[in-house]
Structure 1
Amino acid sequence: MASVNMADVKRLRELTAAGMMDCKKALEESEGDFDRAVELLRLKGAKDVGKREARTASNGLVALKQDGDSVAALLELNCETDFVAKGERFQEVAAQVVEHVLATKPADVPTLLESQLNGKTVKELLDETNAALGEKIEIRRFAVLEGGYVGAYMHRTDPQLPPAVGVLVQLDTANAQVAKDIAQHAAAMAPKYLSAEQVPADVIEKERALFEEMTREEGKPEAAIGKIVDGRVNGWYKDFTLLQQAFVKDNKKSIQKFAEENGVKVEAFVRFKVGQA
């Protein structure tokens, strides 16, 4: 077996992003032929991609791409470890894909994966990244907001890692400070819906049934149950709908009231947190 030059191991690792031991083994197998070692690593990586399908990609980042003040895209790209999440190659792939999302506005993740980006499909790009980084890499979700004024806020839960929370807020009128304030509020308070009207009927039915069961178990009078349940549903709206939440910077007013006082209407919002529904 040929002796391995550690400088070549380091160079091979920098080129392919493969592990140190994998690079060493590839150089040994290729008897020091650097180009052949690169091919061996690519072959190994391609074979390993399928093995990673069952693994959980619960780390990652949220990437942002804006084009002026009226359109922006968010992307959640997942990996298995925070080590990969903070790596340059992973972040470069996220930047490429979110830019592609903004440019093409695909209908859903399967459509995005089959779309062409720099002469290959996005799925092929992810498979190559899987092979190079040795982890399962996947697109979890994306969103595009367009029209009116779109502001964004990106939050790092760890200063050494890329953003793990991203928020877009769409206003009917340009107001950068209000958009930022509402986006920061959404990042912190995690609303699920914009307004009560946008909550799916089946979600409210489940919550109402749960509140009714809780109220009966508390032994409340039958005649009062309906009113108590209505009150609890209204409380749920205040917890989970952006417009009804109490503004974090002034909890005496709702987000809707804050927006109205500043002459704007909140049209839509998107909030992504890595690994969170």
Structure 2
Amino acid sequence: MAAITAALIKQVREETGAGMMDVKKALTEADGDVARAKEIIRAKGIQAAGKREGRKAQEGTIASTVVESANGQTGYAVELNSETDFVAKTPKFVEFADTVLGYAVKADADSAEALLAGAAENGTVKEAVEEAAALFGEHVKVGQFAKITGPHVEIYAHKKSVEMPPSIVAMIATDEAGAAVAHEAALQISAMGAQWLTREDVPAEVVESERRVATEKSLAEGKPEKIVPKIVEGRLNAFYKENVLLEQAFVKDPSKSVGDLFKEVGGQALAFARVEVGKGEEA
């Protein structure tokens, strides 16, 4: 049996919010396999109210723009993090975020790493960010990065409060017909946080994990074994409706899906991205 170390227990506790004994039992049952232990915790319905408790959320803002490109339009979104919201809302910090965004567009960067390696006014963008940290007196870093391309790209930037800069940016690429409902779709992405565009985009391992969890949960609930497969399919469909953009209920009219919204105008959604301050990797 694999060793169940304190570090392993801490990792699973932080990622699930489950208690120490529940985590230890799950890891023991899973023979130290973290992914399997998390499935066991979910299947047992252990609550995660304290998920990531005590971990400080990153502050900052997201700069975004749409530019004309060879394939129509390209949308960029760059998260710039600071330690406090006091710094994040200062005009100079917001201006610097826009400057970093400009570097991303100029370099046609495809990732945060490519952006940081790109050229700034003097030296690299990485060096410019390090210099900004000294200026603001806080740790400053480039966080999440998103880029999508299509005939039409729509951006919605959401502010959680009037005095703060954008903290959520939703982008969606559509064909020309789909542009008619792109703004509504961007609002949906911002509010509902879909993870995939279509159910075909959901990784096979994620589907298999959800299927296992649904099966174990159904059996644990005492459901007759012969009807468990049908229940599992129902729970999988509910998972898709929650996490797949085109299958989500449209927030302004739950009687139809986001996919229906595009069908009504004869358009297509091609790609989307959602960036929220503090939701990337901590550093």
How high is the TM-score relative to the length of structure 1? 0.76
Structure 2 residue corresponding to 1:233, chosen from 233, 236, 242:
236
Per-residue CA shift, 1:184-214, capped at 9, x if unaligned? Answer: 1111111111111111112122221111111
User: Which residue of the partner structure matches residue 16 of structure 1?
Assistant: none
State how far apart, in whole Å, the 2-side matches of 1:57 and 1:115 are: 28
Question: What are the within-5 Å matches in structure 2 for residues 101-116 of structure 1?
Answer: 101-116=104-119
Map residues 178-189 of structure 1 onto 2, 5 A cutoff.
178-189=181-192
Aligned residue identity for 1:182:
A
Q: Classify 1:106/1:273 alpha carbon distance in 2 versus 1 (closer, same or farther; 3 Å).
A: same
Q: What SS is found at the alignment partner of 2:65?
A: strand
SS at the partner of 1:207?
Answer: helix
Structure 1 stretches of 5 or more lacking a match? 1-54
What code does the residue aligned with 2:60 have?
A: G
CA contact 2:174–2:268 (8 Å) conserved in 1: yes
Deviation at 1:148, TM superposition (A): 1.0
Q: Aligned runs of 1:71-220 on 2, under 5 Å?
A: 71-173=74-176, 176-220=179-223
CA RMSD of aligned residues (A): 1.7
- How far the C-alpha of 1:174 sits from its partner, in A, is 5.0
In the other structure, the counterpart of 1:62 is 62
Query: How far apart are residue 88 of structure 1 and its match?
Result: 1.8
Residues 148, 174 of structure 1: 8 Å contact kept: no
CA deviations on 1:127-181 (whole Å, 9 max, x unpaired) are 1111111111111121122221111111101110000010111111155441111
Name the CA distance, whole Å, in 2 between partners of 1:57 and 1:84.
14
Which deviates further from its counterpart, 91-100 or 158-167?
91-100
1:45 aligns with: none
The DSSP-based 3-state class of the residue aligned with 1:230 is: helix
Partner of 1:12: none
The 8 Å contact of residues 179 and 267 in structure 2, kept in 1 or not, is answered as no
CA contact (8 A) 1:71 1:150 kept: yes
Q: 1:97 to 1:204 in 2, by over 3 A?
A: same
Distance 2:107 2:263 in 1: 34
The structure that has the greater radius of gyration is 1
Alpha carbons 2:82, 2:138 under 8 Å: kept: yes
Deviation at 1:92, TM superposition (A): 1.5
Q: Is the 8 A contact 1:57 1:138 kept in 2?
A: no
The 2-side partners of 1:231 and 1:176 are apart by 33
Asked if the contact 2:81–2:142 (Cα under 8 Å) also holds between the matched residues in 1, the reply is: yes
Q: Given that residues 168 and 183 in structure 1 are in contact (C-alpha distance below 8 angstroms), is that contact kept between their aligned partners in structure 2?
A: yes
Instruction: Tell whether 2:231 aligns with 1:253.
Output: no
Q: What is the identity, as a one-letter code, of the residue corresponding to 2:97?
A: A
Q: Describe the SS at the equivalent of 1:117.
A: coil
| Preserved contact between residue 168 and residue 271 of structure 1 (Cα < 8 Å) | yes
Deviation at 1:91, TM superposition (A): 1.0
Post-superposition CA distance 1:52-99 (Å, at most 9, x none): xxx967011111122247222111111111001001221112101112
* SS of the residue 1:146 aligns to: strand
Letter in 1 for 2:209: K
Q: Distance in 2 between the 1:56 and 1:104 partners?
A: 32
1:233 CA displacement = 0.6
- For 1:142, the aligned partner's letter is F
